[in-house]
Every structure is written in structure tokens, then in C-alpha cells.
Amino acid sequence: MADHLPQTLRSDALDNRVRILEVARAVFAADGLDVPMREVARRAGVGPATLYRHFPTKQALATEAFAEQMHACHAIVEEGLADPDPWRGLCLVIETLCELHARNRGFTAAFTSAFPHAVDLAAGRERALTLLAELARRAKDTGRLRPDFVLDDLVLVLMANGGLHATSTNARVAASRRFAALAIRAFQA
């Protein structure tokens, strides 16, 4: 029963946890998920044992580090669903998700199943895909989205978008915008 009670962290432990998450977000965004846990610990100014005490696996660290991005992803899809024109809503979702993913390489890998057993990411990904499927169905009903479009097409676009390499985030975002525009044209009926 004691395992289920919330534990209050000492202020220094809480500071370490916050610093680890900040560093993990920055490192994963810039370099993806291949960054070793020891490197995250080094950049956060903590020992590996401290990192592992807070996050026993990279999966646990990534799940918590990307919680904000997953929330942003849901907000983007919900905004697209709220648009009275489903095609315009879908275009907005594609453009905005591509940009979100271009700004955060680690989130792209996590979202496209780098950690398929991360329950929180899997549930969040499933919710986003369910909402996207509804938006795509509505856009098809208007006749503006190709009738042969399947949700995997959009997942492939996000995976390909995640493969864009550029010398800076701004260059990657610019390339991502161009790529999203090309994908939208390909999806249009």
C-alpha cells in the first residue's frame, strides 16, 4: 500500500528532476533519442545514479519529457477538427504537426513508435490517430481529400518529415513547411 502513496521529494531532488527533464527535452529535440542516458546526466550536472533514480529507463524519461509535446499534438488535431471546413482543418494539422516534429526530432521518433511499449505515449498516439482518422473521414466526405487516403499515409509523411536534416532548426522548419505543402498537394483529390 505504501508504494501507491505519493512521495514528496526533497527540494534538491526536485531540482535535479526538473533539470534532468529540461536537459532531456533539449537534447532529445536537437539530437533525437539516440543520446545516451549518461550524456543526459552529464549535461544535467547529475550522476547517472541520480538520473536512474528518477527515470529508471530511457523510455520513462522520454515519456515524461514528451508529455507537453503530446498535449500540443492533441491540441493541434482538436483545432483541425474544430474548423468548419474539414479539408482546411486537415491541411492545418499536417502543416502544424510537421513543424512541431521538425522542431523536436526526439518527439518524432517517440511518436512514430521508437518506444512502442511506453504506455503513456502509446495511449496519446492512439488518441491523436483516432482524432486524425475522424478528421480525414470528414475531409473525404467533402470530396477534397483523395478517396484512397489512409491514415498510414500521414504517419509516413511524419516519419519522412522526421528524416529532414539541416544545419539549423530554422532550416529544418523551412524544409518541413515545403514538405508539408507537397504532401498536402499529394493528398488533395
Report the pLDDT value the prediction gives residue 45, as an integer from 0 to 100. 94
pTM of the model: 0.72
Count Cβ atoms within 10 A of the Cβ of residue 51 and give its class: 0-12 exposed, 13-18 middle, 19 or more buried. buried
Q: What average pLDDT score do residues 57-76 get?
A: 84
- Residue 111 in contact with residue 101, Cβ under 8 Å? yes
Report the pLDDT value the prediction gives residue 172, as an integer from 0 to 100. 86
> At residue 117, does pLDDT exceed 80?
no
Domains of the chain with CATH codes:
8-65 (1.10.10.60), 67-187 (1.10.357)
Contacts of 32 (CB under 8 A, 6+ apart): 105, 106, 108, 109
Range of 11-15, 71-75, 182-186 with top mean pLDDT = 182-186
Kind and range of the H or E run holding 10: none
Count CB neighbours of 38 within 10 A: 12
Q: 109: left (phi > 0), else alpha (psi -120 to 50), else beta? A: alpha
Sign of the four-CA dihedral 76, 132, 182, 165: positive
Count Cβ atoms within 10 A of the Cβ of residue 83 and give its class: 0-12 exposed, 13-18 middle, 19 or more buried. middle
> At residue 127, does pLDDT exceed 60?
yes
- What confidence category does residue 1 fall into, taking pLDDT thresholds of 50, 70 and 90? very low
Report the pLDDT value the prediction gives residue 101, as an integer from 0 to 100. 79
pLDDT tens figures, 147-159: 999 998 988 898 8
Strand partners, 188: 145
DSSP string, 12-54: HHHHHHHHHHHHHHHHHHHH-TTS-HHHHHHHHT--HHHHHHH
- What confidence category does residue 67 fall into, taking pLDDT thresholds of 50, 70 and 90? confident
Report the pLDDT value the prediction gives residue 109, as an integer from 0 to 100. 65
Angle between helices 37-44 and 11-31 (to 10 degrees): 120
